[in-house]
Amino acid sequence: MNAAIEYQQASQNRASHATPPRRADDLSVAALLAQYHPDHAADASTLLHIGPSRGQPCHPRLAQLLQSNALIDGFDLAGAEQRSTDVLVLGGGGAGAAAALTAARSGAAVMLASKLRLGDSNTVMAEGGIQAALAASDSPQQHFDDAMRGGHHAADPQLLAQLASDAPGVIRWLIELGMHFDLADPLSDGGKLRYKQAGGCSQPRILCYRDYTGLEMMRVLRETVELEPGIQLLNRCPVVELLSHQDGSCAGAVLYDLEYQRFIVVSARQTILATGGCGQLHLQGFPTSNHYGATADGLVLAYRLGAQLRDMDAFQYHPTGVAWPPRLRGGLISEAARSAGALLLNGLGERFVDELAPRDVVTAAMLRECAAGRGIERDGQLGLFLDLRPLCGPGLPTLASQLPALQHLADKCGIDPTRDPLLVYPTLHYQNGGVVIDSQGQSSVPGLLCAGEITGGIHGRNRLMGNALLDILAFGRRAGRQAARQAQAARNKSSLPHLRGGIEHVYRWQRQLALAGLDASQPAPLLYPGQARLTLHRPASARA
């Protein structure tokens, strides 16, 4: 651990200032990011050696998975249960649910397979809110400009424009499904929506429900999916491999039923990957705010099939993860706290950054303070103070009423937010890059669409608060609609039943591994992190 200021001394330094002084900043944003953001560390990038994106930079841990061998071979498919559907959606979070609902309501037969249970995803953990330019003083153009600037002008302009333009329709759709949002005047009939400020935004445009917006969103999506007659739901059935036709197009996927310990081969006219990101890889040794299933499964499978990737060396480290107590390390403290007025303080009791700067800037500034010896050490944990007193003054709503999830977290940490600060440290939060898609979610592989955090290009190299929940719904709906259209076109073109795919692409991949001299002994995807990695049960008859 770097030299740091002991917790009790830091607490005294904090108490000595009635108004925390602001430390002078002697670095430009570019220099700050280059010197302190984890993406710029010397060991944070390598080059991909095989596949459609070979030569592109990628985080070494992720590159190892992307260039791994398959979990299964042809023997595993012998005697496996065979199913078919128009549209197969892989992933049970917000993107998968939105895609499945839209495809089903567009006339397609849909199968939705989830690694865990429907709703067990990063979606439910998104606290801050969702962006949408609905206020009279705002516009989709301003939304686009803010996000393009926040992503360092690296986003795909077409995708980002689509995101900002779709936002009002997404909010209407959610309200029609039954989602609640905070109102500016909750007691008035037909009250107007309440808008909050997000870091890096020129206008208040965050819509939220308290500070558990994602949980409320997933509630209505889950309830609607479970009641939708056109969707067949398969819980606890992770995808272990995609299927391909001879022409390289996607033909469906191989699932593994955890309850019955058997493979299921699903032939599909269109397949949508909505499997999320890679937070559980703990890149650069950081803790993570991500849920248990975020192990980059879809990325690995899409790349093996031939999908192009982009920006696989760009990740978001959320500034305010819990640093103490250790049992809660990495847990998310929503940006809504800083939006409401919470302050970041170093061990000298100083503010050192605009709390509502873009997340990558705040993270880099925090890591600079720790590297300079101005961090705070408590029981072996390094961090900085998040001072909640500005949210708890006389005449203000209680923290429990305005940010109940934060009050609950403070209680779990044993902190009285009216007196004591939380100790925070950046936590691995979001995967900025991913599969290259067009405006309808189509990947470079025919028959394979993608939506949600698995995709790249929408946010550039840094994402603004509230654009993730918007992303999963805007592009989840687009992918679902496009998949249904293409499935219908395939039905009209041929009266033949589904043509079963195979895993010939796996054998081609294995040849690439051998020619490049890469280690083929480690299979992927991981499916589950750490010691929970799954051992696939293979009946003896499959090897006979």
The enclosing domain of 353 has a CATH number of 3.90.700.10
Q: What pLDDT score was predicted for residue 543?
A: 44
Position 393 scores a pLDDT of 79
Q: What confidence score (pLDDT) does residue 537 get?
A: 74
Cis check: omega of the bond before 325, within 30 degrees of 0: yes
Do 224 and 350 belong to one domain? no
> 62 near 296, Cβ under 8 Å?
yes
Question: Is 500 a residue of the active site?
Answer: no
Domain that holds residue 237: 74-121+220-314+432-493
Query: Given this model, what pLDDT does residue 544 score?
Result: 42
Compute the distance between CA of residue 445 and CA of residue 457 in angstroms, rounded to an integer: 17
Asked if residue 361 and residue 447 are part of one domain, the reply reads no
- Length, in residues, of the chain: 544
Question: Residue 539 falls within a domain, yes or no?
Answer: no
Q: Rounded to a whole number, what is the largest CA-CA distance in the chain?
A: 79
In this prediction, residue 493 carries a pLDDT of 81
Q: Shortest CA distance to 135 belongs to which of 101, 85, 81, 171?
A: 171
Annotated active-site residue in 359, 368, 461, 463 = 359
Same domain, 263 and 299: yes
Q: Over the Cα atoms of the chain, what is R_g?
A: 24
Q: Is residue 339 part of a domain?
A: yes
Q: Are residues 323 and 423 in the same domain?
A: yes
What SS3 state is found at 232?
Answer: strand
Residues 310 and 343 occupy one common structural domain: no
For residue 208, being part of any structural domain is answered with no
One domain, residues 19 and 110: no
Residue 496 is predicted with a pLDDT of 55
Question: Taking the model in full, what pTM does it have?
Answer: 0.96
Mean pLDDT by 10 residues, the chain (544 residues): 91 95 93 98 97 98 97 92 97 98 98 97 94 96 98 98 98 98 77 92 96 97 97 98 97 97 96 98 97 96 98 98 97 94 97 97 98 97 96 84 92 94 98 98 98 98 97 98 96 71 96 96 92 69 46
Cβ atoms 447, 267 nearer than 8 A:
no
Please give the pLDDT value at position 397.
82
Total domains, the chain: 2
Q: Is residue 469 part of a domain?
A: yes
**Cα-based distances in Å from 48 to 41, 45, 68, 241, 309:** 18, 10, 12, 21, 11
